[in-house]
Structure 1
Amino acid sequence: MLKLNRILIPTDFSDAARAAYTFGVELTRKYGGKVDLLHVIPTFKYLNESISRLGLPINLDKDIYPHMVTESETRLKADMAEYIPEEQQGEALVQVDIKASDAIVTLAAQNDADLVVMGATGTRGRDILWGSTTEKVVRKSSVPVLAIPVGAQPDDIDRILVPTDYSKLSFRALRGAVALADSLESEITLLHVIELHGSPLDDEPREKGKDQITSITGKLADKLEAWTLEHPEFELSLKRDGAQLQLISTRGGGEKRSKLKIVVNRAVSAYAEIVDYANDNCDMVVITTHGRSGLSHLFLGSTTEKVVQATNKPVLTWRPQQHG
């Protein structure tokens, strides 16, 4: 299950980056965690070398960066005081690094962050930042990453979409979805897309008297239930009451229930259908960065990364640590 004891929020102090603060506060409020704020100051390696070659009496490492670090710490503490309730305030972190994405990934791992929450845009604009820093963090981070577009609010998250390619690895995103659904009082939709080139279920015998969509929907529920039984350590179970489904989590003692709906659609491309379905029917997407290929980057490159780039909804990317 997704733990939310410590959330790391990278910021460039833009309004778009600050959009992530509200989500961080809501999630840590529910789970009693802390919010750490991080600002990365980009280094200018070649500028420093050029200044040195010119013999100018300026050293960025000694004369410029320390002042920038001090100023950034002051701004982070001001943001912490203004936006984060005192009982949820963690650390104000400043890093100097050539690549912001590397600094974020490293700090998240070193500080045992349970989640990275990032604004989907920044001072440099949606396309540039989304195509570089956020995308690189999603690709590299071993910690789940939640990207928040401008204008999104936790109160608006009523329906969470979990795409599945019918692999057990893709089911693991449900662990993060259940944690968020419980926190944000939402329901979950499990979506499988049958592409023109076929579904992994195409070769399985169809249940008598049922069309393909209905048959696959039932098989998907069966496989999900079998997966929960194979992994009691996840403390998840599927409850069926006729056509009504619930995911039940017993993590941490109590019982938490989330409504679950299974949807199977046909489409030319999986990622396009996921984006269209999310934009029309859901408020957040939770998706793994692995799939049935078994290769750590292939599913990310072919589906997850495209979803992150294309949708205007918050997206939580979930990287399974082991198969099954």
Structure 2
Amino acid sequence: MLRLKKLLVPTDFSKGARSAYPYAEALTKRFGGKIDFIHIIPMLKYLNESISRLGLPLDMDKDVYPHIQTDAMARLKEELKMSVSEASRGDAIVKVDRKASDTIVEYAAKKSYDLIVMGARGSHEHDLFKGSITEKVIRGSSIPVLTVHNGLSGRGIKRILVPTDYSELSFKSLKYAVSMASNLEAEITLFHVVELYGSESENEDRDPGKGEIEAIHDNLVAKVKKHIDENILGDEKWKVTEEGGQLYLTPVKNENGRKIIFNVLVKKGIGAHYEIVELADEESDLVVMATHGRSGLSHLFLGSTTEKVIMSSRVPVLTIRPEKKVK
């Protein structure tokens, strides 16, 4: 089962940051655990230098930041109290640093959090979290990051989308998707886009009696079946089964237990991120994708594609960095 005992929620008290609170609360109610809030006070280097040049008898570290921290801590504790139930409520953390993203990443790793949940937009709906900070947290964090745009829908999470570029690396996110789907009684759709300028899936041998998309679909099913047969997803082994033309993920040790509906969809498109965002917004409640850290995402998800999915989709996106890079 997916471990979600410690959740870290960065906040700047904005509407965008607050959109993450209901998701964190919903996850702890389902999986158990506690929610900690963290607020980063920007280190005002330019103010330090200005005060030094003016010769004012002020020491930022001794005279200014302690007061700012005290005020911020009081506000953060009130925010935590008003936003999170007592059963899920953890600690309030205030830090002063020049780089908020580094502080979040380092603190999350040091304290062994299981998940970072953060709003995609910060103050004034601009870029406090979007792009600069969120992107850096996602690329730098060894901890999974759930990026949220809007409040939790009444339906909850019932449809999970897992984009794949046909690589083994992209399948690594399946263990999180399967754990969440099993616990939340959701279905999973594995989605591959055959881009017009080329795709890894086009390089494999195909049945000449089948059309391009059908052949790629069947190859993808075979490839993901092999991955699932060879790996533990969550805390148990699963296998792909089929009944009446519908694929399912079935636990190996309890074949009579609840099965997860498993859809495999292949579509041709101009750009992968357009198709992913469209399917996510129209037919999904959560997107789960794997990263490999500061170098970006594998092939399909390199650079701007992932940023566009995370920042354009209206549904939350969970990004995971696999423990080991697949060669």
**Normalization by structure 2: what TM-score?**
0.89
CA distance in 1: counterparts of 2:61 and 2:154, whole angstroms: 40
1:269 match:
271
Equivalent residue letter for 2:311: Q
CA distance in 1: counterparts of 2:19 and 2:117, whole angstroms: 10
1:320 match:
322
- Check if 1:247 corresponds to 2:249: yes
Deviation for aligned residue 1:128? 5.3
Query: SS at the partner of 1:86?
Result: coil
Deviations 1:19-58 (A, max 9, x none): 1111111111212211111011111012112202211122
Deviation for aligned residue 1:111? 1.0
Q: 1:183 to 1:73 in 2, by over 3 A?
A: farther
1:97 match:
97
CA distance in 2: counterparts of 1:302 and 1:61, whole angstroms: 39
1:237 match:
238
- Check if 1:70 corresponds to 2:93: no
CA contact (8 A) 2:228 2:240 kept: no
- What percentage of aligned pairs have identical amino acids? 47
CA distance in 2: counterparts of 1:50 and 1:108, whole angstroms: 33
Trace 1:1-324 onto structure 2 (pairs within 5 A): 2-127=2-127, 129-153=129-153, 155-207=155-207, 209-232=209-232, 234=234, 235-242=236-243, 243-248=245-250, 257-290=259-292, 299-324=301-326
CA contact (8 A) 1:24 1:117 kept: yes
Deviation for aligned residue 1:118? 0.3
CA distance in 2: counterparts of 1:236 and 1:271, whole angstroms: 31
CA distance in 1: counterparts of 2:266 and 2:311, whole angstroms: 23
CA contact (8 A) 1:159 1:283 kept: yes
Q: 1:97 to 1:183 in 2, by over 3 A?
A: farther
CA contact (8 A) 1:139 1:300 kept: no
Q: 1:58 to 1:153 in 2, by over 3 A?
A: farther
Structure 1: gaps (5+ residues): none
Deviation for aligned residue 1:177? 1.6
CA distance in 2: counterparts of 1:216 and 1:62, whole angstroms: 63
Deviations 1:104-143 (A, max 9, x none): 1111111101110001111142445312111211121111
**Normalization by structure 1: what TM-score?**
0.90
Query: SS at the partner of 1:224?
Result: helix
Deviation for aligned residue 1:190? 0.5
Deviation for aligned residue 1:217? 1.6
CA contact (8 A) 1:120 1:126 kept: no
CA distance in 1: counterparts of 2:64 and 2:58, whole angstroms: 8
Deviations 1:180-206 (A, max 9, x none): 323443211100111112332323333
Deviation for aligned residue 1:2? 4.1
Q: 1:109 to 1:300 in 2, by over 3 A?
A: farther
CA contact (8 A) 2:175 2:233 kept: no
Deviation for aligned residue 1:297? 5.2
Deviation for aligned residue 1:3? 2.1
Q: 1:290 to 1:41 in 2, by over 3 A?
A: same
CA distance in 2: counterparts of 1:297 and 1:245, whole angstroms: 28
Structure 2: gaps (5+ residues): none
